[in-house]
Structures are given as C-alpha cells and as structure tokens.
Amino acid sequence: MAAKPKLLIVEDEAAIRSGLVDVFVYHGYDVDTAATGDDGLRKSLSGKFDLILLDVMLPGVDGFEICERIRARDRQQPIIMLTAKSGDDDIIQGLTLGADDYVAKPFSVAQLVLRVQAVLRRAGIGEALEREIHLANGVVVDSANLSAGETAFTRREMDLLQYLAQHADRAVAREELLARVWGYANHLEIETRTVDIHIAKLRRKIERDPSDPQAIVTVRGAGYRLMVAAP
Ligand code: CA
C-alpha cells in the first residue's frame, strides 16, 4: 500500500487553513500546516513534503520568497501557489519563480483538490507503486517483500530503489535523493556520501558485476539512473 501523500499548507488565515486541513485529511492526505512565513519557510525546506500549498501574502517572509528559496534548493518539489487575487502579475511571478500551478482566491475546494492531484500525478507521486521492479539486467525486485530472489533489502534501500524506478526516465541527483528519500534538506558533503554508500550496497545486491554496473548507472555530473527493462 502506498503511503499517504504528505501535504504542507502554508496559510496565515486560520479559517482557510483549518478548512483546507479538513478537506485534505478527508481525501486521504497526511497534512501539516504553517501559519507564518518563517514557519512556512522552515518546514518547506525540510524536504519532507510531496506537495506544498503556498499562500502569497503571509506575515514575515512572503510566499514568493519561500517559493524562490525552495527552488534554489530543489527543482522537483511540487508547489501550488494560492494567489490572493487573480491579478496576472501575481500569477506570472509565482510561475516564474517555479510554482507548478496556482489557484486564485476565492477558490473552489473541489477545484483545488483536483489541481493537487494533477500536480502529484505529474510528479509521479500518489500513484500505486508497481510491486515488481524489472531491471534491465534481468533482475526482478519484489518491492512489497523487500527482496530479489534470496537477496533481502532494507526499507531504506527499497525506498531508494523505488524512487529511482519512479524516475527511471532520467538521472536523479544525490541532493534530490537526500531530500526525497531521506528527508534531509541540507546538502553537506557527508550526507551526499550517504547516498553513495547506499548505492554501493544496492549494486552489490542487484548488479551481475558490481564493478561494471548496468542497473544503476552513474551519469557524470547528473547523478544516478536506474535502468529498467523495456515494458
Ligand atoms: Ca494570506
């Protein structure tokens, strides 16, 4: 069973915030909130959320700056801006800063839920994960049983493998893996090495010849790419 999508709602108006919490909890989301710009910024940069709903006008740091700060660190983080007015300038600024979509207030809750679902779908989040991962080298990984034949994986190794499998169309940067698989927001040298160590462990388990990897390939300057079997 896939985990509940994790949603962060950054909104200073208490009535709107609690209304949104009710709606998204009802729709099966795991919801956290922030009522100020500073708290919103801190939580946004934690890398723990599948999607961030971001109000523009906030006390302290505003939504545009939060969006910009998230993007400087994570190009993939799904963000939907809640713009106070349907003014084109607000919308254009939000999208220029890297928001995936925007919803103008006053919004219809049903419409907002659909937008959230669409952005998550584009990001490859919230879909049922395939139980089996078929690698290009012929190895088949059973993600539910954390195994491939006699070989067992840790939960973390499987999370890493599943994330790579969901994004098998491209190389994934170490920083993105740290943020999305580990939930680490700060990219210290020691932390990116954590990724390399786990990749090395995975290679010993899934590669025919770990010294010549064919399933998890290193793409110079870009990260790691999982090579899956053609469907
Ligand atoms: Ca506001």
Per-residue pLDDT reduced to its tens digit, 47-83: 899 999 999 999 999 999 999 999 888 878 899 988 8
CA angle (110, 114, 120) in 5-degree steps: 145
Ion ligand 1 — residues with CB < 5 Å: 12, 55, 57
- Give the Å distance between the CA of 50 and the centre of ligand 1: 22
pLDDT number for residue 1: 38
Could you report the per-residue pLDDT of 187-203, keeping only the tens digit for each?
666 678 889 989 999 99
Q: What percent of the chain has pLDDT over 70?
A: 87
- Give the Å distance between the CA of 117 and the centre of ligand 1: 23
Tokens at 111, concatenated: 């419409």
- Give the Å distance between the CA of 46 and the centre of ligand 1: 22
d(CA 180, CA 159): 10
What are the residues whose beta carbons fall under 8 Å from the beta carbon of 180, sequence distance 6 or more?
47, 76, 163
- Give the Å distance between the CA of 54 and the centre of ligand 1: 9
**pLDDT confidence tier of residue 88, bands split at 50, 70 and 90:** low
d(CA 206, CA 228): 12
- CATH superfamily, domain 6-120, is Response regulator (3.40.50.2300)
- Give the Å distance between the CA of 26 and the centre of ligand 1: 23
- Give the Å distance between the CA of 221 and the centre of ligand 1: 40
Q: Is 99 helix (H, G, I), strand (E, B) or coil?
A: coil
Could you report the per-residue pLDDT of 138-155, keeping only the tens digit for each?
999 998 788 999 999 887
Determine the average pLDDT of the residues in 221-229: 94
**Which one-letter DSSP state was computed for residue 97?**
T
The beta strands (E) that lie in the chain are given as 6-10, 30-34, 51-55, 79-83, 101-104, 132-134, 140-142, 147-148, 151-152, 216-219, 223-226
- Give the Å distance between the CA of 125 and the centre of ligand 1: 27
Contact 63, 149 (CB under 8 A): no
**pLDDT confidence tier of residue 135, bands split at 50, 70 and 90:** very high
Residue spans per domain, the chain: 6-120, 132-226
- Give the Å distance between the CA of 100 and the centre of ligand 1: 19
Q: Which residue has the tokens 């659909």?
A: 114
d(CA 231, CA 228): 9
Domain at 132-226: CATH code = 1.10.10.10
For the full predicted model, state whether its pTM sits above 0.75.
Answer: no
d(CA 70, CA 26): 27
- Give the Å distance between the CA of 42 and the centre of ligand 1: 17
H/E element holding 189?
Answer: helix 189-206
Determine the average pLDDT of the residues in 126-136: 73
Largest pairwise CA distance in the chain: 59
pLDDT number for residue 11: 97
What are the residues whose beta carbons fall under 8 Å from the beta carbon of 123, sequence distance 6 or more?
50, 51, 76, 78, 100
**pLDDT confidence tier of residue 18, bands split at 50, 70 and 90:** very high
- Give the Å distance between the CA of 44 and the centre of ligand 1: 16
- Give the Å distance between the CA of 93 and the centre of ligand 1: 16
Angle of the 109-122 helix axis to the 14-26 helix axis, nearest 10 = 60
CA angle (18, 8, 30) in 5-degree steps: 80
- Give the Å distance between the CA of 132 and the centre of ligand 1: 44
